Amino acid sequence: MGMRETIRRLQALRSLTQPLAITLVGIVLLSLGVGYVLTAIYKNVEVPAFFYYLTLQFLETWQRALLFLLVGTAVLLVGMWQLSAMAVIPLNTEAGQREVVLGLGYRKEDRPPRIVVLSGGAGMFIFTRLIPHLEHLTCITPLQDPVEYYYRASSLLSSEHVEFVPPTPLPAQIMATLDEGTKVNIKQIRQIARNPLYEKHHVAQLSLQWNDANHPSHPLAHVVVDAISKADAIVLGPGSLFESVLPNLLIDELRELICNSKAVKIFVCNLMTEPGLTSGFSVSDHIREIKRYGGFTPDYVLVNAQRIDPEVRQIYEAANQSPVYLEPEAYEETAVLQSDEGHQKGLLVEGAIVLESDLASSLVQTIASLDRPGEVRAVQVLRHDPEKLAAAILAILNAT
């Protein structure tokens, strides 16, 4: 282990200095008490002969003291070294109160991580930048998406460490109910959202309808079960919250697997709200929907903090889209994520650690006109940057 890693692990104990000192004093006082009790027993009660050797009576008093000091110091150092192999997160409590420290234990293995992704098509291909750093990448396709699309797309990748797999072979429909009562198949919601009557609304309820109502159970693909059981991290997003991220969480078996998994759970929050789906949603709203349908709280949430160019913002505002932001009053505590690059300040929101970072890039994209088939036009759009997002996820994995 290099000097840099040693320093990093020792720095992780800075927030634990006071509680460790108090604990040490308590252990010393407890040891003195036990010592006095044993001394009284030894002097007043007849004990077996082996106690002579057990209590090191054959050594001088100062020799016994020196031996215990050396052994005790060695054990203490080993314990502190193991403690430093934790993600230490100081949580600021209410004003005027002392810091509370939360330690998240973890165990690193000498192998690259395994990641499972639940995302939309475009979001999944962003993670191809992570391939050189991973042992395996499993992309679970959205339940209602055509699997052929992913099979054709995956053929463009030459890596054997990536696979795209549907969650279950059984067909199903995802139904969405808007906050004003309209119910529609999630596949048609984009058409509804383009209607000015609905674009400022959002999805209030998502439900799953199996095409085979007589099927008693809905088995998951074996590769899905295997991937989640071995995953070091499960990443939700980037992708449409109600179209791509949440539908798979409606499958009871899959939701239970993820809830029981010890993998780090990371949610990549959308850059912009979606008309008719998440209009008016903030970061905390997105997290609440994950908790609502998934039954778990993401460990970390990645949020774009990049300043958006005014021209790009105007383009999105014209489409009734706005940046997904974190309301100042939404966070409960502050947190610090230790990593090889130092530390990153985060916020505790709805039980998840929210890390704000520059995650997006503006680019020009050519799209087809919906009104005039055959006509294309160039528009400036905001997208998650593959390099930036990969770096942010790797930073979390290196610190957990």
Predicted confidence at residue 71, as pLDDT, reads 86
Residue 12: band (very low, low, confident or very high) from pLDDT cuts 50, 70, 90: low
- Residue 112, phi then psi, degrees to nearest 5: -65, 155
Using the predicted structure, report yes or no on whether residue 263 has a pLDDT greater than 90. yes
Distance, CA of 247 to CA of 166 (rounded, Å): 12
Query: What Cα–Cα distance (Å) separates residue 89 from each residue in 127, 145, 296?
Result: 27, 39, 20
Angle at 114 between CA 113 and CA 118, to 5 degrees: 130
131 vs 106, more confident: 131
Rounded CA gap, 375 and 387, in Å? 32
Domain C-terminal end among 64, 84, 104:
84
Q: Name the more confident of 82 and 4.
A: 82
Q: Which domain holds residue 38?
A: 3-84
Residues 121 and 177 in one domain: yes
Which DSSP symbol is given to 272? B
Residue 256 lies in a domain: yes
Tally Cβ neighbours within 10 Å of residue 335. 24
Give the CATH number for residue 388: 3.40.50.10680
pLDDT score recorded for residue 93 = 44
Residue pair 388/356 in contact by the 8 Å Cβ criterion? no
Residue 181 covered by a domain: yes
Confidence of residue 265 (pLDDT cuts 50, 70, 90): very high
The overall average pLDDT reported for the chain is 81
Question: Quick one: pLDDT band at residue 238, thresholds 50, 70, 90?
Answer: very high
Same domain, 237 and 148: yes
Same domain, yes or no, for 142 and 11?
A: no
**Burial (CB count within 10 angstroms: exposed 0-12, middle 13-18, buried 19+), residue 283:** buried
* C-alpha span between 201 and 61 (Å, rounded): 80
pLDDT exceeds cutoff 80 at 139: yes
Q: Has residue 239 been placed in a domain?
A: yes
| Residues 378, 328 share a domain | yes
The pLDDT value given to residue 135: 94
Q: Is 107 among the domain residues? A: no
Decide if 331 contacts 266 (C-beta within 8 A).
Answer: no
The token pair at 382 is 């905001």
CA atoms within 13 A on the CB side of 354: 26
Do 161 and 61 reside in the same domain of the chain? no
Domain annotation covers residue 328: yes
Instruction: Look at residue 250 in the predicted model and tell me its pLDDT.
Output: 94
Number of H helices and E strands in the chain, helices first, is 12, 16
Q: Which of 101-110, 172-181, 186-195 has the least mean pLDDT? A: 101-110
Mean pLDDT to the nearest integer, 74-90: 68
Q: What is the pLDDT at residue 269?
A: 96
Residue 374 lies in a domain: yes
For residues 369 and 7, the model is more confident at 7
Q: What gap in Å lies between CA 48 and CA 45, rounded to an integer?
A: 10
- 281-324, pLDDT tens digit by residue? 999 999 999 999 999 999 999 999 877 888 888 888 888 899 99
Residue 110 pLDDT exceeds 90: no
pLDDT for residue 72? 83
Q: Is 314 contained in some domain?
A: yes
Residues 50 and 153 in one domain: no
Long-range contacts of 317-321 (CB under 8 A, 24+ apart): 319/275, 320/199, 320/200, 320/275, 320/279, 321/272, 321/273, 321/274, 321/275
Is residue 130 located within the same domain as residue 213?
Answer: yes
pTM for this entry: 0.72
Q: Of 7-21, 31-45, 80-94, 374-388, where does mean pLDDT reach its minimum?
A: 80-94
Q: Could you tell me if residue 195 is inside a domain?
A: yes
Residue finishing a domain among 67, 84, 101 = 84
Both 160 and 28 in one domain: the answer is: no
119, 365 contact by CB (below 8 A) = no
- For residues 262 and 301, membership in a common domain is answered with yes
Angle (nearest 5°) at CA 197 between 193 and 199:
35
What's the total number of domains in the chain?
2
* More confidently predicted of 48 and 228: 228
Domain boundary residue among 40, 69, 84?
84
The whole-angstrom separation of Cα 57 and Cα 9 is: 40
CA–CA dist 337, 132 (Å, integer): 24
Q: Let me know whether 221 and 156 are in one domain.
A: yes
Residue 94 has a pLDDT of 46
- Cβ neighbours of 184 (radius 10 Å): 18
224: its two tokens: 């899905």
Same domain, 166 and 31: no
One domain, residues 10 and 144: no
What is the structure's pLDDT at 337? 61
What is the rounded average pLDDT of the residues 371-396? 81
